[in-house]
């Protein structure tokens, strides 16, 4: 499981536990102004990380294809 998924799960659990104990507007504002923005930021990091991984895989594939072409064209002699 990726790191950001673990972090997202932990902060989600903490937020829900905190939400269950909130009894006033100050506690509600902590959820709205602190915890929910943190959740959104972690979710953005998860999406960015997944996109980064996809790009890295694509780059690796293109490099592998280029190496295969190079070996084919030059017979492995450089």
Q: Which among 35, 8, 5 has a CA at the least distance from the CA of 19?
A: 35
- CA gap 19, 30 in Å, rounded: 9
How is 16-33 classified by DSSP, letter by letter? HHHHHH--SHHHHHHIII
- CA gap 27, 39 in Å, rounded: 16
Tens digit of pLDDT for each residue in 19-63?
Answer: 999 999 999 999 999 999 999 999 999 999 999 999 999 999 999
Longest dimension (CA), the chain: 74
Q: What is the pTM of this model?
A: 0.73
């Amino acid at each position: 499981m990726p790191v950001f998924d673990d972090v997202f799960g932990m902060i989600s659990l903490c937020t829900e536990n905190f939400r269950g104990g909130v009894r006033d507007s100050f506690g509600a504002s902590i959820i709205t102004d602190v915890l929910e923005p943190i959740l959104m930021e972690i979710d953005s990091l998860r999406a960015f990380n997944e996109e980064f991984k996809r790009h890295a895989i694509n780059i690796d594939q293109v490099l592998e294809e280029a190496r295969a072409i190079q070996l084919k064209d030059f017979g492995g002699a450089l």
